[in-house]
Amino acid sequence: MPQGVTSRSHLSAGAATQVAWAGQAWNYGEVIDWILEGPEPVPIRQITVYGEPVLHQRAAEVTVFDDELRELVADMHTTMDAAHGVGLAAPQIGIGLRIFTYIYADQDTAPERGVLINPKLTLSKVSQAAPDVDEESEGCLSVPGLSFPLKRADYAKVEGVDEFGKPISFEAHGWFARIMQHEFDHLDGLLYVDKLVPKWDKRWLKAKKSLGWGTPGITWLPGTDADPFGH
């Protein structure tokens, strides 16, 4: 864009109405609007709710790493943030690809914010003890407003690539490892409520019936619809 144009006060009755930039003729009004408005915002995507087929199918490997993929990853980060989530898998926005984003500050083994594409997890053994309702309860943006306890491995070695195809590898412990497992399950068509022990599974099935979930077409839009978790 031309230098020095910051407001419409630069225009006068006798001023030229166009400027050449990047090989094109631009109307001054268009130039000023572009400067004042800034770039277009990254869109927030609708989040699919339990029962949407894409949530219950194994997602496909990513094979093309292009601008379209990077735009999708940017949309996922924006949607995750708008929903106050710590993770978001592509199937949750209706895209059947093996991608998930995350944000989690309370760890020092990986970047606070990131994306995993075509990930692989190596897990420690999962305890057979009953899950602790206070310490091990999970929520899910595709099961909005509900929370149930679930045992997970306390350690995960995480491998994959980023949106440019660059390899990623790190170790996750505790709650960060739980996030990795939760999002990875989405890529295999599993939600955390599909893995509950019988006591909690009964409560989940009752809640699902009451809410009318289990059929396609139910979504919610972060930042527009009421926050199901009350953030």
Question: pLDDT (tens digit, 9 = 90+) per residue, 33-49?
Answer: 656 666 667 799 999 99
Which residues are part of a known binding site for Fe cation? 140, 182, 186
Closest CA to 194 of 12, 50, 39: 50
State whether residue 218 is helix, strand or coil.
Answer: coil
pTM for this prediction: 0.82
Q: Is the pLDDT of residue 50 over 60?
A: yes
**Is residue 128 assigned to a domain?**
yes
- Residue-range definition of the domain harbouring residue 88: 47-220
Do residues 90 and 17 share a domain? no
Question: pLDDT (tens digit, 9 = 90+) per residue, 98-122?
Answer: 999 999 998 888 999 999 999 999 9
- The pLDDT, as a whole number, for residue 156 is 98
Catalytic positions: 183
Rounded Cα distance between 216 and 213, Å, is: 8
Do residues 99 and 175 share a domain? yes
- The backbone torsions φ and ψ at residue 174, rounded to the nearest 5 degrees and listed phi first, read 60, -130
Do residues 18 and 101 share a domain? no
State whether residue 101 is helix, strand or coil.
Answer: strand
How many other β-carbons are positioned within 10 Å of the β-carbon of residue 219? 16
Do residues 128 and 170 share a domain? yes
Do residues 19 and 120 share a domain? no
172 or 33, greater pLDDT: 172
